Structure 1
Amino acid sequence: MSKPVKGSERSATGRAPVVVVAGGGTAGHIEPALALADAVRRLRPDAEVVALGTERGLETKLVPERGYRLELIPPVPMPRKPSAELLRLPLKVRDSVRRTRAVLDRVQADVVVGFGGYVALPAYLAARGRTPIVVHEANKSAGLANKVGARFAARVAVAVPGTPLPKAEVVGIPLRRSITTLDRQALRAEARKHFDLDPDAQTLLVFGGSQGAQSINTAVSGAAKELADAGVGVLHAHGPSKTLVVQEFPGPAYVPVPYLERMDLAYAAADAVVCRSGAMTVAEVSSVGLPAVFVPLPHGNGEQASNAQPAVDAGAALLVPDAELTAQKVAELVVPLVADPERVARMSSAAVGLGHREADEALARIVLEAARG
């Protein structure tokens, strides 16, 4: 049970602390920031938490839904290749930093917590030398923004050992309490009714991140007959900007949805999952004890494969490269897994102990200490 921080332990200004979190863009950046925000409010109910974001990110929806104040700043996306956009980058950075600094001054920020991405970089530069900075890196391979922020941060928190950032402290990834306290068995009946799934069939959960993944959509829907023949039901989040047409076969329901508003119920409804292996996804799937078939994003620096490896090594997950994921692969690898309750149980047990269930409050204490300093 969490213990509130004593009221006498206030910010350096002598008032209740104001914590600014910078984690916009994708759910992988936003959700840890919001999990931290929730933990800060549990430990210090009088604290104010303000989120930084941009008008085009998921934060415009997710942050207000969770009850937090959102301040919008200009994004600073980093071009992947030399281009005219790269030449304009210094001016964009300067403008974004200026406007971010105005936000920090207006809200009287006592600490800035960044989770990487194009919202974190201007936040770090705006806070440098003025407001204490705490960096959280979810991946073993740190992104550019966090590499910059870590150079002048008061504290640096990381999800896994071996992350090459200075002064790194391993805390894990902050997760929502609705995930870390989830009782899948107790919620199973309610969850399957919520999604109109077969109440008794082995069930596969499929998703490809907040925007969906076309390769996963095509491969799993292409194996709909094999899944139905094996008595496996499917809950498939295909992405709000994508469509999914699935041929119907006799057997448990195959339920396509654009987006999963209630991930806790989705996890509770499932016996196994096929998904990407972003750091946040791996942490949540492992926390709830779901056997997984991880399909790493084929772009970037290979961090998604690295994220999945501990679960694979523990026997809690399988890893399939994106280029190898086909309907035939799903039929040969995924269907036998989900249809085997004993194997599902063994893999679920193997997930126990992976991750850090108290990462949210561990990071919140680091942040509140930095605010006092």
Structure 2
Amino acid sequence: MTQPQPPLSVVIAGGGSAGHIEPALAFADAVRRLRPGAEVTALGTERGLDTRLIPARGYRLELIPPVPLPRRPSGDLLRLPGRVRTAIGRVREVLTEVDADVVVGFGGYVALPAYLGARGRVPIVVHEANARAGLANRVGSRFAALVATAVAGSGLPDERVVGMPLRRAITGLDRAALRARARAHFGLPPTGPVLLVFGGSQGARTLNTALAAALPGLLHAEVAVLHAHGRTGTSAAPAPGYVPLPYIERMDLAYAAADAVLGRCGMTTVAEVTAVGLPAVYVPLPHGNGEQALNAQPVVAAGGGTLVPDDELTGERVLAELLPLLADPRRLAAMGTAARACGHGDADERLARLVLEMIAR
């Protein structure tokens, strides 16, 4: 007779931006599929998107004090001991309350207190999304039981490349079957090319500015535009063929409606765009440690996208890159096929299985 499996308690730490939250929740979904009845608790803060995205997906959210981190080790870290101690104490309270079996972190300012609070108490798993690891994951990897990455070469020790965990709504998306419904959902024309423009959950000023300059030319060429400009970003006024939104809740439908993407290249964006097979013009953030350009480089090398530096993105460049592409169905299809070949559609379950095996050991 098969013995019932003991209750499983998993704590995830990936708060702040959608780029940290979404892979954490995709992993959590996979854990629940593989271990029905598993309890998943998310650590987050009142900053960012935690309080909106996490409860909406049906997961318990426990708030901890935010600890904003510099991108590199610096004197700023030495000025944060009080905040760090408070956050670590709150993490330890949560771990005890939920009787945690493992802490799985996805980087960002929630992850470091989670790693430090779990150290020596609960096994730690680190997932690094970017081609170059951030500070929190570099620290956490020093005492993690398992280090998983989206791509090779993160610089973390003993990395296991699993890909980027994504929602099944994305990895199982049938764009062709949903195209008509998706366009109707956003009020886009039922025929003709559609360009999807977004700069991550916070928007991107460079993309918004360049699109505003390019918009008359795009609309004149009968290219419709679905534009997520960010909650504090700006856009042109809505017009026939142009739909601006502060944030797109249904990214699956946005991808189904689109023929090409203009966007940043955080790893979640790159992973989703390749998983659904869309060609893209990627514009890396000009700040940080250069990881966004590295994220997109394999896709660009495979022919699934192009890379435009932030300071070179103008309205004229948008038109020069995208009008010829959107007018060429064969090129669109070829680039989409190349993009899809770069994706990792099963990363959510690969990571979940590795974590469950580690707990069993």
Normalising by the residue count of structure 2, what TM-score does the alignment of the two structures yield? 0.96
Q: Is the 8 A contact 2:119 2:143 kept in 1?
A: yes
Worse overlay, 221-230 or 320-329: 221-230
Q: Is the 8 A contact 1:52 1:71 kept in 2?
A: yes
Extract unaligned runs of 5+ from structure 1: 1-5
1:90 alignment partner in structure 2: 81
Q: CA shift at 1:109, angstroms?
A: 0.4
Q: Is the 8 A contact 1:134 1:370 kept in 2?
A: no
Q: Distance in 1 between matches of 2:338 and 2:71?
A: 38
Distance of aligned partners of 1:301 and 1:69 in 2 relative to their CA distance in 1, 3 Å threshold: same
Identity %: 66
Counterpart check, 1:52 vs 2:52: no
- Which of 34, 44, 48 is the equivalent residue of 1:43? 34
Extract unaligned runs of 5+ from structure 2: none
Find the residue that maps to 1:266 and give its secondary structure. Answer: helix
Find the residue that maps to 1:323 and give its secondary structure. Answer: helix
Counterpart check, 1:354 vs 2:342: yes
What amino acid is the match of 2:274? S
1:190 alignment partner in structure 2: 181
Q: CA offsets per residue over residues 280-306 of structure 1, 9 Å max, x none?
A: 100000000000000001110000000
Q: CA offsets per residue over residues 287-327 of structure 1, 9 Å max, x none?
A: 00000000001110000000000110010101000100001
What amino acid is the match of 2:13? A
What amino acid is the match of 1:237? A
- Which of 124, 143, 149 is the equivalent residue of 2:140? 149
- Which of 253, 256, 267 is the equivalent residue of 2:244? 256
Matches within 5 A, 1:225-244: 225-244=216-235
Q: Distance in 2 between matches of 1:334 and 1:311?
A: 17
Q: Distance in 1 between matches of 2:121 and 2:88?
A: 13
1:3 alignment partner in structure 2: none
Q: Distance in 2 between matches of 1:244 and 1:198?
A: 20
Q: CA offsets per residue over residues 115-137 of structure 1, 9 Å max, x none?
A: 01110001001111110111000
2:358 alignment partner in structure 1: 370
Distance of aligned partners of 1:7 and 1:166 in 2 relative to their CA distance in 1, 3 Å threshold: farther
- Which of 271, 274, 289 is the equivalent residue of 1:286? 274
Q: Is the 8 A contact 2:67 2:83 kept in 1?
A: yes
Q: CA offsets per residue over residues 50-95 of structure 1, 9 Å max, x none?
A: 0000011201100000000000001111246999965431121111
2:326 alignment partner in structure 1: 338
Q: Distance in 1 between matches of 2:289 and 2:76?
A: 22
What amino acid is the match of 1:350? A
Counterpart check, 1:277 vs 2:265: yes
Find the residue that maps to 2:143 and give its secondary structure. Answer: coil
Q: Distance in 2 between matches of 1:164 and 1:24?
A: 22
Q: Is the 8 A contact 2:238 2:244 kept in 1?
A: no
Q: Is the 8 A contact 1:111 1:370 kept in 2?
A: no
What amino acid is the match of 2:187? D
1:329 alignment partner in structure 2: 317
1:212 alignment partner in structure 2: 203
Q: Is the 8 A contact 1:9 1:372 kept in 2?
A: no
Q: Distance in 1 between matches of 2:287 and 2:278?
A: 25
Find the residue that maps to 1:273 and give its secondary structure. Answer: strand
Q: CA offsets per residue over residues 244-278 of structure 1, 9 Å max, x none?
A: 12485xxx611111110000000000000000000
Q: Distance in 2 between matches of 1:130 and 1:259?
A: 39
1:99 alignment partner in structure 2: 90
Q: CA offsets per residue over residues 18-51 of structure 1, 9 Å max, x none?
A: 0000000000000000000000000001100000
Q: Is the 8 A contact 1:272 1:291 kept in 2?
A: yes
What amino acid is the match of 2:157? P
Q: Distance in 2 between matches of 1:62 and 1:181?
A: 21
Q: CA shift at 1:176, angstroms?
A: 0.2
2:152 alignment partner in structure 1: 161
Q: Distance in 2 between matches of 1:240 and 1:80?
A: 24
What amino acid is the match of 1:145? A
Q: Distance in 1 between matches of 2:74 and 2:283?
A: 31
Worse overlay, 182-191 or 229-238: 229-238
Normalising by the residue count of structure 1, what TM-score does the alignment of the two structures yield? 0.93
Find the residue that maps to 1:147 and give its secondary structure. Answer: helix
Q: Is the 8 A contact 1:221 1:246 kept in 2?
A: no
Find the residue that maps to 1:139 and give its secondary structure. Answer: coil
